[in-house]
Chain A
Amino acid sequence: MTRNLTFSIFRYNPMDRTSTPHMDTFVVPETSSMTLFIALTRIREEQDPSLQFDFCCRAGICGACGMLVNGRPNLACKTKTKELPDVVTLLPLPIFRLVGDLSVDTGTWFREMYSRVGSWIHTDREFDPLAEEERMDNALANEIYELERCIECGCCIAGCATARMRRDFLGAAGLNRVARFMLDPRDQRTEKDFFEIIGDDEGIFGCMGLLGCEDVCPKGLPLQDQLGFLRRRMGLAAIRSFLPGGK
């Protein structure tokens, strides 16, 4: 029953002058309920302590462990070896800056995204510590939560053809973030404000709608619906801006 798994792993340490990009092979005996988190940790602790990769929650919650598993962006912690062939190729996510081996810099990418889309509630209301909270319909709260479930793993960006061509493309995660704030009545931004953020080729009009993003999103976010929704709203906003009296 026990297989030997062969891992072919991308190696490159940009801080080491003697390092050049190449693939290394490691063999690990498979154990029951093995995940890529367990396999990679074993390789690092028993075979090559310099191997770089990122795990944090190891429970599919934090988004740290995105990588290409046999060519497909996925969360390594919830990938069971049982579902993989005997030979597994692991590559870092493309598009994000490489830190080393399988580790990439998603933090910088996402931080730039927040400042571009203004990833916070824009309001001029002050918080009053003595007042009752503003009421919200529970169904709406749940809808907002559905869009807020993105864990910023970067899989949708890595799987997106537009993002590969245009470094400045907001990607499904960025556009989804905008949709989240458009939905939120606490955010006082208008359609025009949002149009200024995403109404061009770096935003919603750069998206080719082929949906590589939704296919690979490990959280199953409704990216397709959101992209369609934004395209319609932004299309209308564009038309309105040409009409007399449009705002």
Chain B
Amino acid sequence: MQTFVTDVLCIGAGLAGERVAIAAAEAGFDATCLSIVPARRSHSAAAQGGMQAALGNCSMGEGDSPDVHFVDTVKGSDWGCDQEVARLFCDNAPIAMRQMAHWGVPWNRVVPGKRHYYKGGERFEKEEKAEKAGLITARAFGGTAKWRTCYTSDGTGHTVLYTMDNRAAQLGVTVHDKVEVVSIIHDAGQCLGAVARCLRTGELRVYLAKATLVASGGFGRIYRESTNAVINDGGAHAAVLDTGVVPLGNMEAVQFHPTGIVPTYILVTEGCRGDGGTLLDVNGERFMHLYEPEKAELASRDVVSRWMMHHIREGKGVKSPYGEHLWLDIRHLGERHIRVKLREVDEICHNFLGIDPVESLIPVKPVQHYSMGGIRTNKDGKAYGLEGLFAAGEAACWDMHGFNRLGGNSLAETVVAGMLVGAKLVEYLRGREAVWNTAAVRDAVLRVEDRIERLRTGTDGGENVYAVRDAMQDALQDGVHIFRNADGLGRAVDSLREIHARAKRLGLRSNGVGANPELAMALKLPGMVRLALCVAHGALMRTESRGSHAREDHPERNDRDWLNRTLATWPGESDELPTLTYEPATRVMEMPPGDRGYGNGTIIPMDAGENNS
């Protein structure tokens, strides 16, 4: 077995992982990033829209500032975020964007002159100023007061990640791709590194580090239907939860997007509805206006998703080999509009569905999109519970998104958090000597070896890996989706407990030799079910509606009792449920809770009695 020793181990080579590795390398430390896939295939590459930073260069962004960005972010979070973190983020985002420009991102730039743009189907005019020519420009995104989203055509994540990886290569950051972390090595409250499996050979490896960073992205794949890459399955989150001492924050905060195409759940943009597209049911009839007479299809993401699921439950879904769905109709927008203004949608329909949206309906349904929850860190990116463990990016609950993240804020988070956490991590490394307790390391490896052996020989049982995974996904899909209520959540928690027991009795059907994919899934599946339980149990306990967490039986946002963050740990191996505790959402309250101005829910104010946290 190979052992690698490094100063910083980054679990993940997406934007967040590489940005931290770069900070360490710039300070003269050794940095190693691990990734399931080549770094540039990380899911950061899939973000097309863009990233927010208050540069205020374009005309529609005039008057923007980190303060305005801060207000948007805190409102967006439904006051669930850590306001100190949101402040740090907004203040530093412009610097991070300019730095990415310096390193090579071909940001779209301001072009002086008059131009048209559309809003709600109407045409407006704007004029870009000559003195701003060539500065980084921005586009509009939902939930923001100004145009603030920096972009490179339709490939923002791609260009930013390629630039980041170039910079990492230049500084000599080591990237080991096709390597998957299976467990975290820790001893006496100190994180020592990780045990990983090489996905080329199947061999186990040990990585020892003075500091370990988890930047493994989202865990959307615990849901069956998700816009996330197939590798975003929470394997690294599970490894962290299994330490028993590190909490995951706000796991119940899961974002859904209304229009994932069926069957592959690739996203088609909200722009379809923005431009006048409609949603139809099995009878070819519109339904959104029945539920939301005023806004209909143009209500906010979570609201539209909710009514879509409701309508399917009413028996109005379209049956398909991939389950029930609804239709998105953009035919009436006309061929010219579709081919030009909705080019990306047109291409997705042709490439992945083999249909022409000018003539055909698009099969869609709401799907999991983003994980607000994750490894809970303080504002420096230090994980709670273990010295030497850090987290950043979508994997972390740093927590600037609270219960709902704004479009364009997560890509920006990876880079800004990477920069700030990177600096803190360097501070941590300075003057620190590494001491490895070899017995702890050996134990960690033996445990994984033992698990592999038992899976191969079927010692614990013969449960089928994919059947158990399907059962977990069904439980979440049915009970912990957009609609939430005590009944559904209770049922989901009960069935997930049974599924958890089954996940301890997995046996492989193949021989498990080499880079065997069934073994990879079997190793992380019990941990994935534990993540699912953190989501479901946390959602059951949170008796209010906040951001994406919408309880039908508790429709009000309850600032009196729930202006707090859920922390989930899994202290005992034989536990059947996570242990939940709570902490205040924010220590510093720069902006007291108020109305978001959208989503029109009722609020139980903070001072209506005592606070339970």
Contact of A152 among B38, B170, B465 (CB under 8 A): B38
Task: State the total of A-B contacts with C-beta under 8 angstroms.
Answer: 203
Interface contact A148-B106, CB-CB below 8 Å: yes
State in angstroms the CA–CA spacing of A114 and B104 once bound together.
15
B178 closest partner in A (C-beta): A107
* Contacting residue for B175 out of A83, A111, A138, A152, CB 8 A: A111
- A78-B352, A105-B200, A111-B175 known; A57+B229 contact, CB < 8 A: yes
Cross-chain contact of B466 among A45, A83, A134, A184 (Cβ < 8 A) = A45
B109 interface residue (CB < 8 Å to A): yes
Q: Does A110 lie within 8 Å of B38, measured CB to CB?
A: yes
Contact B109 A138 (CB under 8 A): yes
Given A49-B509, A105-B200, A110-B38: A137 touches B517 (CB 8 Å cut-off): no
State the Cβ distance, B244 to closest chain A Cβ, in Å.
30
Instruction: Known contacts A49-B508, A99-B515, A136-B134; decide if A56 and B41 are in contact (CB<8 Å).
Output: yes
Check: A164 CB closer than 8 A to any chain B CB: no
B102: contacting residue among A52, A110, A127, A141, CB under 8 A: A127
Q: Does B209 contact A (CB under 8 A)?
A: no
The reply on A32 being an interface residue by CB < 8 A is yes
**B46 touching A149, Cβ below 8 Å:** no
Q: Is B145's beta carbon under 8 Å from chain A?
A: no
Given A38-B264, A120-B169, A141-B109, check contact A15 B102 (CB 8 Å): no
Whether A192 sits at the interface, judged by CB under 8 Å, is no
Stretch among A59-67, A204-212, A227-235 lining the B interface:
A59-67
B159 within 8 A of A: yes
A52 → B minimal CB distance (Å):
6
Q: Verify if B452 is at the interface (C-beta below 8 Å from A).
A: no
The one of B99, B134, B231, B516 in contact with A138, judged by C-beta atoms closer than 8 angstroms, is: B134
Tell me the bound Cα distance from A103 to B177 in angstroms: 14
Interface size, B (range): 35 or more
Q: Are A115 and B104 touching (Cβ within 8 A)?
A: no
* Cβ contact of B178, chosen from A31, A32, A44, A99, cutoff 8 A: A99
Bound-state CA distance A44–B509 (Å) is 11
Question: Contact between B102 and A14 (Cβ–Cβ < 8 Å)?
Answer: no
- Chain A residues, CB < 8 A from B354: 33, 80, 82-83
Across the interface, name the chain A residue whose C-beta is closest to B152.
A145
Complex formed: what's the CA distance from A106 to B39 in Å? Answer: 11
- CB within 8 Å of B: which of A1-29? 13-16
Report the separation of the CA atoms of residues A15 and B515 in the bound assembly, to the nearest whole angstrom.
8
Closest to B353 in A: A33
Given contacts A33-B352, A132-B135, A186-B104, contact A120 B167 (CB under 8 A): yes
Contact code string A175-186 (vs B, CB < 8 Å = 1, else 0): 000000000101
Closest to B354 in A: A80
A59 touches B46 (CB 8 A): yes
Query: Which B residues are in CB contact (< 8 Å) with A144?
Result: 106
A70 at the interface (CB under 8 A from B): no
A227 to B585, CA, bound (A): 56
B351 touching A62, Cβ below 8 Å: no
A24 to chain B, nearest CB (A): 13
Q: Are A133 and B466 in contact (CB under 8 A)?
A: no
A83 to B353, CA, bound (A): 11
B133: interface (CB < 8 Å): yes
Which chain B residues border A57 with CB–CB below 8 Å?
A: 41, 43, 45-46, 229
Please determine whether A14 and B37 come into contact, CB atoms closer than 8 angstroms: no
Main secondary structure of the interface of B (DSSP, over half): loop
Q: Assess the A51–B201 pair: CB atoms within 8 A.
A: no
* B98 contacts A100, C-beta separation under 8 Å: no
Q: From A125, which residue of chain B is reached at the shortest CB distance?
A: B102
Q: Which of B503-553 touch A at CB < 8 Å?
A: 508-511, 513-518
B136 interfacial contact with A, CB 8 Å: yes
Asked if B485 lies at the interface with its beta carbon under 8 angstroms from chain A, I say: no
B438 within 8 A of A: no
List, in ascending order, chain A residues with CB within 8 A of B162's CB.
148
Q: How far is the CA of A83 from the CA of B351 in the complex (A)?
A: 11
Q: Is A35 an interface residue (CB 8 A)?
A: yes
Complex: A76 Cα to B41 Cα, angstroms? 15
Nearest CB on B from A67, distance (A): 15
In the assembled complex, the CB of B592 is this many whole angstroms from the nearest CB of chain A, namely: 32
Q: In the complex, which of the residues B45, B95, B230 contacts A61, with contact meaning CB atoms closer than 8 Å?
A: B45
Interface residue? A54 (CB, 8 A): yes
Which residue of chain B has its CB nearest to the CB of A41?
Answer: B230
Q: Which of B40, B104, B351 contacts A78 (CB 8 A)?
A: B351
Contacts of B153 in A (CB 8 A): 142, 145
Contact of A50 with B106 in the complex, beta carbons under 8 Å: no
> Residues of A contacting B351 with CB < 8 Å?
60, 78, 80
A73 CB to nearest B CB, Å:
17
Q: How far is the CB of A149 from chain B (nearest CB, A)?
A: 6
Q: Determine whether the beta carbon of A15 is less than 8 Å from that of B514.
A: yes
Chain A positions within 8 Å of B429 at CB level: none
Q: What residues of B have a CB within 8 angstroms of the CB of A137 in the complex?
A: 109, 134
Q: Which residues of B lie under 8 Å from residue A83 when comparing CB positions? A: 354
Bound-complex Cα distance A45 to B465 (A): 9
Which residues B352-367 have CB closer than 8 A to chain A? 352-355, 363
Closest CB pairs A-B (n = 6): A15-B514, A135-B134, A50-B510, A107-B38, A49-B518, A120-B166
What are 23 residue pairs bridging A and B, where the CB atoms are less than 8 Å apart in the complex? A33-B352, A33-B354, A49-B465, A49-B516, A52-B517, A56-B41, A56-B229, A57-B43, A61-B46, A77-B264, A82-B354, A83-B354, A107-B175, A120-B167, A121-B103, A127-B98, A133-B102, A136-B106, A138-B134, A148-B159, A149-B158, A152-B41, A186-B102
